[in-house]
Amino acid sequence: MSRTRASGQRNDCPNALHRARSELRRAASSILGIVDQLKEVNQDTREHNQYQESMINALAVENFQLKEENGAAKELLISEMVDEEDAELKKLRKEMGAVKRGLEEINEHNPSGRYPVAKLWHVEDNREARLDEIVECMMKKTTPKRKRVGDEENNSPAQKS
């Protein structure tokens, strides 16, 4: 009996081995199929990303060109439509000169944010104050006035009586 069992087990081994090999081949084939699908998906994703990137670049260039064209057209319209010799325009410029000056200064000192920047002004000369003028003014404001010795003696109550 032991021979039949042993011989039966021997006959099962090649079949089991054959089945295991077949399952391994199917699994490997399935894995290779999945790997191929992933490669295709990755390639499609890469191509899609490249397409999107090229579209973004093209739109950015087109946007820049349109801004340039709009700016040029605006300048052209302002130069055909505005009559520099118009009496009302001259009057308005005279009245609103300070507004224009303020806008020019905002654009000069902070064109990107267009928020005001504090400046010290020399009112008499209608210009921005220089650093030496600012320091001189600050010294006058902060330095206490000293009384002269001679003035105190002349103004003392003892001498008045």
Secondary structure class of 121 (helix, strand, coil): strand
Low-confidence ranges of the chain (pLDDT < 70): 1-11, 78-82, 98, 114, 116-117, 150-161
pLDDT value for 93? 76
pLDDT value for 89? 76
pLDDT value for 47? 92
Domain boundaries defined on the chain? 1-82, 86-143
pLDDT value for 161? 46
**Is pTM, for the whole model, over 0.95?**
no
Classify burial at 153, counting beta carbons within 10 Å of its beta carbon; exposed 0-12, middle 13-18, buried 19 or more.
exposed
